[in-house]
């Protein structure tokens, strides 16, 4: 009776070794003892020799360490009112050491008499529409919330206010004009915390508008590695003064577990501060984000941090959940899916039914779908063996085909992979062959992928962009996937989309400054001829002086030669007259002076509608005389 289990133990020495592994401490807790002391404690680990406790202020690069043989330690000399994260590692009698525990956080006591209000999380924009925008930020104290906004940094004549005292600030403004540039300042309590020339945004164009649109796509970015900022800097240099209209996160936005402290360190602190305050971010959740959040109940840091389109605020069909949603921008329909939660991926789930209904109602010219787990990859993950990837391919790729989706973007694999123009392949890699290629070419400018009546507008391009924070040296068996035209596991980077009219151009750029274009492809619709087609970047316009008495100037930055017209309207929408009629202007920086005296307009606020081939924008003009 006793010999048999002993024999099994000897025959399986690895099982014996497993019993001796040093366990990772659990049930971490922090207690404020007094105004100067924070006590950290956790469950004891058997066979422990000592514990390594490391802690740092959220956002700091370096850890502080304390070695102790007790499961309790007191911290002193902390910064006042500061958010700290801490972890514990066990070292045991057999010389084994555990991995560090997941981070826990605490806020140190505030012993300072300084009552200055300050930002502890940068301002970031959410839920843009043609007429509204939501602002969010965090402060060190509970205060009221105010946003001032207007047509220039010096004319912030409108405001929105919430008198509720909070540290998590969220406020919406909803009296805006479509595709118009606004400047803003944020105030908490009596303190203006931000409000300079970098604090501006564009409202969305109306749906189905033909407008140049730039989209930045990053996946698996939130590593807090130096490479993350290299990818950012490469894009900033690449886009230069061209405004980023849409910003997509493809999931795994904050490693390792999507904790609030990890979002603070890996995303919000010294990473994307400038872009956060100019372009709304629309994320998909990844498996790492959902380690600490629940998509079914919409709880946890990911859902606390982001304000997403649940009610079709920017078009599409209301989903009723932040886990998956859709929105329009100009003539593009964007759809975000949630691929981590198993119950969402099955046929006839709520997400499955909503997606079909949303795409059936879609009237936009282009459709881009994005989520975390790629249907096709042989990178650091394998779409032949992993259930999330298999189910997204088997259950959802047929819907993409049925409703003529144009582009599917995913992360998860820490690689870049880009497919041919595909249709109808839902099996393993070994079943893929030429019959599933609507177009087996490169899709480059000389031979673009064309979706027209000849091929029934069929075909989807699938791209994996999971390399915006790190790459993986290991790949799955079968790399590269047979469905892919281009694959690399050594290049960090991001994807840039430029959409204008019947043309969608995609570039994968690396982390160099200036960036190298590693891959490029083009999608056309309606038999457009591509080889000589020029894809304009966003033209911009500024109005000054504003306010004015009789004259003002348009400072134009045109992407191409253009004929510019300007109409003036009352703020009620009433047409007043044309003040510039098809004035031919060269590409680049141009100045056009306009005299208003012949109109005899009373002082007040007016709307300028500025239009051309590559520009269609509104500006507020204040006449001060």
Those residues with Cβ within 8 angstroms of residue 139's Cβ, 6 or more apart along the chain or in another chain: 117, 118, 119, 120, 167, 169, 188, 193
Mean pLDDT of the chain: 89
Q: How confident is the model at residue 112 (pLDDT cuts 50, 70, 90)?
A: low
When pLDDT is averaged across residues 504-514 and rounded to a whole number, the result is 96
**Domain topology for 540-623:** Immunoglobulin-like (2.60.40)
pLDDT at 570: 79
The tens digit of pLDDT for each residue in 80-100 reads 778 889 999 998 876 688 899
pLDDT at 366 over 80: yes
Specify the range with the lowest mean pLDDT, choosing from 138-147, 194-203, 589-598: 589-598
For residue 399, the tally of other CB atoms under 10 A from its CB is 15
Sheet with strand 551-558: strands edge to edge: 540-544, 551-558, 588-595
Beta bridge partners of residue 220, listed in sequence order: none
When pLDDT is averaged across residues 587-596 and rounded to a whole number, the result is 84
104 and 28 Cβ atoms separated by less than 8 Å: yes
Q: How many helices (H) and strands (E) does the chain have?
A: 10, 36
Choices 2.60.40.10, 3.30.1490.190, 3.30.1280.10, 3.60.21.10: CATH for 213-525: 3.60.21.10
Choices 3.30.360.10, 2.40.30.170, 3.10.129.10, 2.60.40.10: CATH for 21-107: 2.60.40.10
pLDDT at 2: 35
Q: How far is it, in rounded angstroms, from Cα 371 to Cα 355?
A: 13
Choices 2.60.120.10, 3.30.200.20, 3.40.50.720, 2.60.40.10: CATH for 119-202: 2.60.40.10
Nearest partner of 129 among 401, 330, 319, judged by Cα:
330
Those residues with Cβ within 8 angstroms of residue 451's Cβ, 6 or more apart along the chain or in another chain: 404, 406, 421, 457, 458, 459, 523, 524, 525
pLDDT at 20: 58
pLDDT at 229: 97
When pLDDT is averaged across residues 549-576 and rounded to a whole number, the result is 82
pLDDT at 113 over 70: no
Q: How confident is the model at residue 120 (pLDDT cuts 50, 70, 90)?
A: very high
pLDDT at 32: 80
Specify the range with the lowest mean pLDDT, choosing from 35-49, 104-118, 532-546, 582-596: 532-546
DSSP state of 384: T
pLDDT at 618 over 90: no
pLDDT at 317 over 90: yes
pLDDT at 395 over 70: yes
282 and 248 Cβ atoms separated by less than 8 Å: yes
Mapped onto helix, strand or coil, the DSSP state of residue 570 is strand
The tens digit of pLDDT for each residue in 330-342 reads 999 999 999 999 9
Q: Where are the domains of the chain?
A: 21-107, 119-202, 213-525, 540-623
Specify the range with the lowest mean pLDDT, choosing from 109-113, 197-201, 425-429, 458-462: 109-113
pLDDT at 77: 83
Tell me how far the alpha carbon of residue 11 is from its chain's centroid: 52
Does the fold of domain 540-623 match that of domain 119-202?
yes
φ, ψ dihedrals at 340, nearest 5°: -85, -40
φ, ψ dihedrals at 454, nearest 5°: -65, -35
pLDDT at 571: 64
Q: How far is it, in rounded angstroms, from Cα 370 to Cα 219?
A: 10
Nearest partner of 209 among 618, 491, 619, 622, judged by Cα:
618
pLDDT at 13 over 80: no
pLDDT at 107: 81
State the residue for tokens 């401490």.
25
When pLDDT is averaged across residues 387-395 and rounded to a whole number, the result is 98
φ, ψ dihedrals at 403, nearest 5°: -100, 20
pLDDT at 10 over 50: no
pLDDT at 465 over 90: yes
When pLDDT is averaged across residues 36-49 and rounded to a whole number, the result is 88
Q: Answer left, alpha or beta for residue 59, where phi above 0 means left and psi between -120 and 50 means alpha.
A: left
Mapped onto helix, strand or coil, the DSSP state of residue 365 is coil
Percent of the chain whose predicted confidence (pLDDT) is above 70: 93
Q: How confident is the model at residue 614 (pLDDT cuts 50, 70, 90)?
A: confident
When pLDDT is averaged across residues 440-445 and rounded to a whole number, the result is 92
pTM for this one? 0.72
pLDDT at 303 over 60: yes
DSSP state of 396: I
pLDDT at 278: 98
pLDDT at 114: 59
User: In this structure, what token pair is assigned to residue 270?
Assistant: 């010294």
Q: How far is it, in rounded angstroms, from Cα 407 to Cα 463?
A: 8
Specify the range with the lowest mean pLDDT, choosing from 11-15, 431-435, 597-601: 11-15
Q: How far is it, in rounded angstroms, from Cα 250 to Cα 496?
A: 13
Nearest partner of 491 among 513, 514, 461, 466, judged by Cα:
466
């Amino acid at each position: 009776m006793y010999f048999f289990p002993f024999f099994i133990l000897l025959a399986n020495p690895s099982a014996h070794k497993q019993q001796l592994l040093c366990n990772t401490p659990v049930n971490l807790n922090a207690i404020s003892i007094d105004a100067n002391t924070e006590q950290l404690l956790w469950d004891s680990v058997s066979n422990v020799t000592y514990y390594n406790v490391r802690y740092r202020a959220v956002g700091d690069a370096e850890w502080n360490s304390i070695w102790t043989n007790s499961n309790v330690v007191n911290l002193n000399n902390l910064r006042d009112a500061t958010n700290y994260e801490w972890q514990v590692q066990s070292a045991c009698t057999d010389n084994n050491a555990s991995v560090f525990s997941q981070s826990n956080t605490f806020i140190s006591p505030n012993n300072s008499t300084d009552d200055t209000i300050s930002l502890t999380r940068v301002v970031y924009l959410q839920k843009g529409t043609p007429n509204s925008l939501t602002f969010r930020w965090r402060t060190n104290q509970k205060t009221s919330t105010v946003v001032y906004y207007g047509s220039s940094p010096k004319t912030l004549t409108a405001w929105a206010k919430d008198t509720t005292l909070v540290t998590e600030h969220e406020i919406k403004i909803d009296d805006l004009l479509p595709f118009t540039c606004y400047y803003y300042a944020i105030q908490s309590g009596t303190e203006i915390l931000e409000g300079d020339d970098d604090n501006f945004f564009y409202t969305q164009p109306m749906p189905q508008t033909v407008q140049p649109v730039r989209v930045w796509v990053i996946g698996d970015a939130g590593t807090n590695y130096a490479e993350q900022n290299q990818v950012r800097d490469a894009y900033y240099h690449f886009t230069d003064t061209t405004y980023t209209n849409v910003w997509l996160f493809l999931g795994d936005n904050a490693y390792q577990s999507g904790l609030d402290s990890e979002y603070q360190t890996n995303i919000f602190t010294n990473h994307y501060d400038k872009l956060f305050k100019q372009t709304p971010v629309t994320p998909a959740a990844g498996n790492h984000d959902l380690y600490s959040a629940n998509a079914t109940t919409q709880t946890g840091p990911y859902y606390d941090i982001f304000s997403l389109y649940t009610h079709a605020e920017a078009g599409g069909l209301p989903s009723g959940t932040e886990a998956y949603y859709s929105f329009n921008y100009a003539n593009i329909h964007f759809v975000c899916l949630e691929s981590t939660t198993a119950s969402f991926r099955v046929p006839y789930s709520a997400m499955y039914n909503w997606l079909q209904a949303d795409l059936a109602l879609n009237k936009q010219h282009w459709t881009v779908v994005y989520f975390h787990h790629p249907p096709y990859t042989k990178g650091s993950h394998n779409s032949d063996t992993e259930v999330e990837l298999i189910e997204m391919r088997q259950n959802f790729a047929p819907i993409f085909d049925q409703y003529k989706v144009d582009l599917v973007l995913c992360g998860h694999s820490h690689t870049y992979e880009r497919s041919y123009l595909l249709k109808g392949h839902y099996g393993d890699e070994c079943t893929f062959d030429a019959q599933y290629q609507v177009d087996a070419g490169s899709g480059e400018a000389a031979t673009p992928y064309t979706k027209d009546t000849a091929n029934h507008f069929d075909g989807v391009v699938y791209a994996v962009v999971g390399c915006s924070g790190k790459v993986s040296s290991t790949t799955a068996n079968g790399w590269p996937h047979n469905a892919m035209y281009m694959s690399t596991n050594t290049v960090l980077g991001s994807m840039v989309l430029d959409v204008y009219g019947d043309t969608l151009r995609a570039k994968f750029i690396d982390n160099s400054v200036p960036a190298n274009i590693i891959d490029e492809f083009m999608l056309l619709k309606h038999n457009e001829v591509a080889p000589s087609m020029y894809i304009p970047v966003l033209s911009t316009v500024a109005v000054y002086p504003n306010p004015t008495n009789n004259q003002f100037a348009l400072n134009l930055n045109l992407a191409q030669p253009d004929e510019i017209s300007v109409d003036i309207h009352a703020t009620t929408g009433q047409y007043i007259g044309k003040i510039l009629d098809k004035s031919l202007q060269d590409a680049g920086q141009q100045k056009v002076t306009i005299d208003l005296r012949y109109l005899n307009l009373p002082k007040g606020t007016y709307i300028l509608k500025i239009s051309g081939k590559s520009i269609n924008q509104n500006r507020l003009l204040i006449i001060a005389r």
